Amino acid sequence: MATPQFKELRHAYGFDEVAIVPRDVTINPDQTNIDFKVGNFTFSVPIIAAAMDGVTDVNFAILMSRLGGLAVLNLEGIQTRYENPREILAEIAQAPDAEVTPLLQKVYSQPIKENLIGKRIQAIKQGGAVCAVSVAPANTKRFAPIAAEAKADIFVVQSTVTSARHISKSYRGLIFSELRQSIPMPIIVGNCVSYSACLELMRTGISGVLVGVGPGAACTTRQVLGVGVPQITATMDCAAARDAYLRESGRYVPIITDGGMDNSGDLCKAFAAGADAVMLGSILAQAKEASGLGYHWGMSQPDPALPRGTRIKVGTTGTLQQILFGPASVTGGSQNLVRALRVAMGVCGVFTIQEMHQVEMVIAPSIITEGKSWQLSAHTRAV
């Protein structure tokens, strides 16, 4: 009888299961450099606001750019379906929980108005900001030329899972090498979670990869599809692909960890796992300037046949300035993200994000210690 062949399962880890180990050299946090580069753009803050309708609108994109980061406008959401999106956003914010999924299904069934695509991009550009926009793969051929004509700066192609090779009888899959020829701007593609998928995407010549499928507990992709890889492992795998691609091509393509980060600690861990930048949704949705008026929802929740996700009341906890640069009035890690990253880099003795990729992490599930009622450490203020 042949030896039985059992399927093998690899362990994967999320933010809550790991912690960064400080090193034997420390540096002054003020000396750290956290620049993030994509194409010819350099950002002083490696944080990207997600293409979600509860976060990014024209004003938010301008503000985010002014503060040193980047925001991505969703070209298939409320901003391009409605002349006056604020009314719709207010309606969503006011809907009772039980009615919100049908309401979103209705709101997003309204057609996208092509003229609004150009209008939104131009408004962001007129605000002096770098303008990034996102489209799903199926609509890319239709909307990419419009975005290019309106002079968008960065083009994001994003769906739950996007691969370098999509097979369909009914339509011809998107060919990224062709897209690169047709629009004169850096292309960021996602999402993916594995070494090979990330490597294949990079080989098409694109300029950045978004990492993350079903990372968070309340993202229902994992409940509905069973699909997902926790973000630390996904980021480590895609970072290995980036490094392998650099060795084979000489080209450094940044990876952006997208989703699942609850606080600045998670953000620091994403960089320690290998991220070049992070894409944030819910943390930024708490900004006074976010479009969602204190609410946030997933872009797959309005799916007419297979909705996934939930509208969440995130509340409004401070200005975007305060969330990014403090001072923090709360102690849970939802404010002063930039200082937290610099301090974490300081205790790890690293000057750049690329050095941060090398720091050690340990598996240390926070849930294990949650029985503990309270613990305070004696460490003095100066870090």
Q: Restricting to residues 9-28, which ones interact with its own copies according to CB under 8 A?
A: 9-28
Q: Which of 46, 208, 254, 281 binds its own copies (CB under 8 A)?
A: 281
* 243 contacts its own copies (rule: CB under 8 A): yes
Pick between residue 128 and residue 362 the one whose CB is nearest to its own copies: 362
Q: Is the peptide bond before 85 cis (omega within 30 degrees of 0)?
A: no
* 248 contacts its own copies (rule: CB under 8 A): yes
Distance of CA 366 to the CA centre of its chain: 23
* 272 contacts its own copies (rule: CB under 8 A): yes
Touching its own copies, residues 314-343 (CB under 8 A): 314, 326-333, 336, 339-340, 343
Q: Report, in Å, the least distance between residue 42 CB and its own copies.
A: 22
Q: Which of 35, 289, 303, 355 binds its own copies (CB under 8 A)?
A: 303
How many CB atoms are located within 10 Å of the residue 90 CB?
Answer: 12
Burial letters 141-168, b for 16+ CB under 10 A, else e: bebbebbeebebbbbbbbbbbbbbeeee
Q: Report, in Å, the least distance between residue 70 CB and its own copies.
A: 13
Interface stretch with its own copies, choices 33-41, 111-119, 143-151, 154-162 (CB under 8 A) = 154-162
Touching its own copies, residues 28-57 (CB under 8 A): 28, 30-31, 50-52
How big is the site for its own copies, counted in residues (CB under 8 A)?
Answer: 171
Phi, psi of 117 (to 5 degrees): -60, -55
Q: Report, in Å, the least distance between residue 356 CB and its own copies.
A: 11
Pick between residue 32 and residue 65 the one whose CB is nearest to its own copies: 32
Mapping DSSP to helix (H, G, I), strand (E, B) and coil, where does residue 363 land? Answer: strand
Q: Which of 165, 249, 315, 352 binds its own copies (CB under 8 A)?
A: 165
Touching its own copies, residues 91-150 (CB under 8 A): 101-102, 108, 134-139
* 310 contacts its own copies (rule: CB under 8 A): yes
Closest alpha carbon to 297 in 111, 91, 120, 110? 91
Q: Which amino acid is at 375?
A: Q
Residues 6 or more apart whose CB falls under 8 angstroms from that of 373 comprise none
Q: Report, in Å, the least distance between residue 305 CB and its own copies.
A: 5
Closest alpha carbon to 76 in 136, 121, 122, 149? 136
Q: Which of 84, 97, 111, 168 binds its own copies (CB under 8 A)?
A: 168
Pick between residue 117 and residue 126 the one whose CB is nearest to its own copies: 117
Touching its own copies, residues 349-368 (CB under 8 A): 349, 360-368
Q: Which of 212, 253, 275, 320 binds its own copies (CB under 8 A)?
A: 212
Interface stretch with its own copies, choices 80-88, 89-97, 156-164, 180-188 (CB under 8 A) = 156-164
Q: Which of 45, 81, 188, 222 binds its own copies (CB under 8 A)?
A: 222
Q: In terms of C-beta density within 10 A (0-12 exposed, 13-18 middle, 19 or more buried), how is residue 1 classed?
A: exposed
Q: Which of 130, 147, 269, 277 binds its own copies (CB under 8 A)?
A: 269
Interface stretch with its own copies, choices 37-45, 86-94, 147-155, 305-313 (CB under 8 A) = 305-313
String marking each residue 169-208 x if it binds its own copies according to CB under 8 A: xxx------------------xxxxxxxx-xx--------
Closest alpha carbon to 66 in 49, 80, 54, 78? 49
Q: Which of 148, 161, 175, 183 binds its own copies (CB under 8 A)?
A: 161
* 239 contacts its own copies (rule: CB under 8 A): yes
**Structural contact between residues 195 and 241, judged by C-beta atoms closer than 8 angstroms:** yes
Closest alpha carbon to 198 in 236, 241, 247? 241
Q: Which two tokens stand for residue 380?
A: 């003095």
DSSP string, 132-164: EEEE-HHHHHHHHHHHHHTT-SEEEEE-SS--S
**Structural contact between residues 320 and 284, judged by C-beta atoms closer than 8 angstroms:** yes
User: Token pair 């919100």 is at which residue?
Assistant: 100
Distance of CA 142 to the CA centre of its chain: 24
* 74 contacts its own copies (rule: CB under 8 A): yes
Closest alpha carbon to 279 in 103, 55, 92? 55
